[in-house]
Amino acid sequence: MTVSEPAKPGRYEMYPFRFKRLDRDTELLTSEAGEFVVADRGTVARILAGDILEDSALYRELTARQIIYDAESVGLLDLLAVKIKTKKAFLLSGPALHIVVLTLRCNQVCRYCQASSRKQDDAKYDMSDATIGKTVEMIMQSRSDNVTVEIQGGEPLVCFDKVRTIVGLSRTQAQLCSKQVSFVLCTNLTLATDEVLQFCKQENISISTSLDGPRAIHNRNRGAGWDDNYGRFRERLCRAFDIVGSDAVSALTTIAPPCLDSPIDIINEFVDIGLKSVFLRRVTHVGRATCWSDTRQAYSDQFLKFYLRALDYAIELNRKGVEIAEAYASLLLHKMLTPFPAGFVNLQSPAGAGIGVLTYHYNGDVYAQDEGRMLAEMGDFTFRLGNVHSDSYTAVIANPRLQSLLRDTCNEITPGCSDCAYLPYCGCDPVQEYTSHGVVSVSRPLSEHCRFHMAVFDYLFQRYLRGDDLTRRIFMSWALNRPVSLGNAKGAGRCTV
Amino acid sequence: MPSKSKHESGKGPFSISVDIEASLFSEDAVMATCHQFTGRAHTRLTQPNRRHYHVILSAREGISLTADAAAAFMDALLDNEMRTRIARSTGAVRDVLVQTAFRNVTRQVGQQATT
């Protein structure tokens, strides 16, 4: 009988990595590219002490996730660099999302409206044809080969002729510039006639709409428009499913303070209506929503509770075979469980404002992000980068305000973020921070964005790591925007328990 | 004992002080931990002598420091000391990684700037 050599500590070096204690017994270690390992408490101290045994499963896992390297794996540094570049791909392409505010007019008066919408008959708040032309010109100067034009308002269908104009012009110009262009129409759907829906089908336009919950909640929030806004919405949504196709229609819900005790009702409504995803959006305290600013801190706390309850319920429904994803959690899971960025401006570092998205207001002003133009309606032009009539695309992108915004939203150099284990998955919401504290770069321990995301990442990691195979498959389906697979989720993720 | 803490108020934990051995913990780790606590407390950091740091945490308005705040501070300090050591050991590798990941991009930007 031979006795093998006792295992010896491996000779290894560390790559940069971050860690946090998940609970009393476990530590989460995340690599520079966002791959992660969950290990027993004390693992980080053992890594530092050079005490990880070479023939252990942990050693192999830490090497595979590029937390440590040895003589055999030192050549894989380039691979890690490629992974980092992939995760930061949004930095390289130029703004791909172009939000065009065709009008501020709206046929409804939603109590949480952030956009300072105007009366339906006040046509001076429409974008002129000349401004549409200049806007499309600027959009086509983006370095991105694939651009999305998101048509917003107000309610853009109060000026459907302008929707036709910008779609037609964008298609022509995109062809000349050899770009691919896609369209999203943000609408409350109540003015979406069959003619409008046929146009969307013909032009391959996706529809992004909003539903506040069951009839009582929806009608209470909407204020004006139809006697039964909810009934009208449902009827038009069904037509949109029929004509445009259910895959081309998505919906979000803005959680106004009076709705904070209804997470289950709201999700049930989305399921009942046949939607496969719900985006639970918190109120941004601009526009009409400033009426709740005094209770902002309490709202923040309550929204977090609401959100986690909603996630619990959505997971429970999926476990029973009902397919419903929460869209924001899906974005977070996409970042956690895949090598790719999420394409969501507030989940990027630096924030995607100006580099991933530009917003063109009805009067030609260009803003770094959508909420920037909403703030401008309140007289604050902090996020204004220029105007399509007086500034070139280069001048907009080179605006010192944008440079400053990028610096202030770069988590890699922000105290509290730079060594956070969740840095590879997180981002920054400059407008939310600005409206809370008057500055973009807020000390992280005071940041609402930080507090919310720390709690949600904790929740998602705990559920993913402690959950059974079905829970993991549900999360993977959310991350990949696909139906829940019947296979085993092990190996599909990027983690070790 | 490298560190100690005490409640300075008889009525409740409005203020907590922590003494830290400078030979065990780096200034960076102490600063990072103080920063981490700024959401809960105002922080006063002094170095009364070369061997010690002295931290006073005073509860922010509307927030009371829990009895285990000093222990939580020390836990966080330990974590931050490890983070500091990781950063010290891996800073050069991180620089190489970032340069490698974005070297072509830097060239492109440079070329655009010159043309």
Alpha-carbon gap: B53 to the closest alpha carbon of chain A (Å): 20
Strand, coil or helix: A410: coil
Closest CA to A54 of A34, A38, A41, A72: A72
User: How far is the alpha carbon of A158 from chain B, nearest alpha carbon, in Å?
Assistant: 43
Beta strands in A95-160 (DSSP E): 97-101, 146-152
Per residue in A284-325, pLDDT (tens digit) is 877 777 777 777 888 999 999 999 999 999 999 999 999 999
What is the nearest CA distance from B38 to chain A, expressed in angstroms?
6
Tokens of A187: 């609408």
Is the torsion defined by CA of A83, A84, A90, A91 positive or negative? negative
Single-letter amino acid, residue A328: Y
Q: Do A16 and B94 touch (CB under 8 A)?
A: yes
**Which value does ipTM take for this structure?**
0.85
CB pair distance less than 8 Å for A84 and B86: no
Please state, in angstroms and rounded to a whole number, the distance separating the CA atoms of residues A211 and A250. Answer: 10
Note whether B39 contacts A: Cβ–Cβ < 8 A: yes
Reported as a single tens digit per residue, the pLDDT across B90-102 is 999 999 999 999 9
CA distance B25 to B27: 7
d(CA A13, CA A51): 11
CA angle A373, A331, A18 (to 5 degrees): 105
> Over the stretch A204-252, which tens digit does the pLDDT of each residue have?
999 999 999 999 999 988 877 677 899 999 999 999 999 999 999 999 9
Contacts of A400 by beta carbon, 8 Å cutoff, 6+ apart: none
Is the Cβ of A77 closer than 8 Å to some Cβ of chain B?
yes
> Are A322 and A271 spatial neighbours (Cβ–Cβ below 8 Å)?
yes
Mean of the per-residue pLDDT values for chain A?
Answer: 91
Distance of CA A202 to the CA centre of its chain: 28
Q: Do A44 and B87 touch (CB under 8 A)?
A: no
Among the partner residues B36, B82, B85, nearest to A416 by beta-carbon distance: B36
CB A105 within 8 A of CB A125: yes
- DSSP annotation of A428: -
pLDDT of residue A482: 86
Split at pLDDT 50, 70, 90, the class of A75 is confident
A321: left (phi over 0), alpha (psi -120 to 50) or beta: left
**A168 inside 8 A of chain B by CB:** no
User: Which region among A28-37, A57-66, A110-119, A399-408 has the lowest average model confidence (pLDDT)?
Assistant: A110-119
Q: Name the residue in chain B with its Cα closest to that of A451.
A: B39
**Nearest-angstrom CA–CA distance, A286 and A284:** 6
CA–CA separation, A333 and A425 (whole Å): 9
* DSSP state, residue A204: T
Q: Compare all CA atoms of chain B with the CA of A81 and give the residue at the minimum distance.
A: B101
> What is the overall mean pLDDT for chain B?
84
What residue type is B47 in one-letter code? Q
Q: Do B83 and A18 touch (CB under 8 A)?
A: yes
Residues 6+ apart with CB under 8 A from A275: A211, A246, A249, A250, A251, A324
pLDDT of residue A435: 86
Find out whether the peptide bond into A154 is cis, omega within 30 degrees of 0.
Answer: yes
Do the beta carbons of residue A260 and residue A303 sit within 8 Å? yes
Determine how β-strand A365-367 pairs with β-strand B52-59.
Answer: unpaired
A158, A117 Cβ separation under 8 angstroms: no
- What contacts A284, CB < 8 A, 6 or more positions away? A114, A371, A374, A431, A432, A435
Among the listed residues A311, A278, A284, A198, the one whose alpha carbon sits nearest the alpha carbon of residue A245: A198
